[in-house]
Amino acid sequence: MFGTAILVDAHSMPSQAARQNDARPKQPQIDIVLGTRHGRACHGVLTELVEGFLKDAGLSVTRNQPYAGGYITEHYGRPETGRHAIQIEINRAIYMDERNYQRHAGFDELATIMHRLIGHLAAVPDLAAQLASDRSQGKSAAE
Q: What range defines the domain where residue 115 resides?
A: 5-20+27-130
Q: Tell me: the pLDDT tens digits for 12-68?
A: 999 988 665 555 555 678 999 999 999 999 999 999 999 999 999 999 999 999 999
Q: Tell me: the pLDDT tens digits for 58-115?
A: 999 999 999 999 999 999 999 999 999 999 999 999 999 999 999 999 999 999 999 9
CA dihedral sign, ordered 79, 54, 128, 10: positive
Q: Is residue 67 part of a domain?
A: yes
In the chain, how many domains are there? Answer: 1
Q: Is residue 143 part of a domain?
A: no
Q: Is residue 121 part of a domain?
A: yes
Q: Taking Cα atoms as reference points, which of 43, 40, 33 lies closest to residue 10?
A: 33
Q: Is residue 140 part of a domain?
A: no
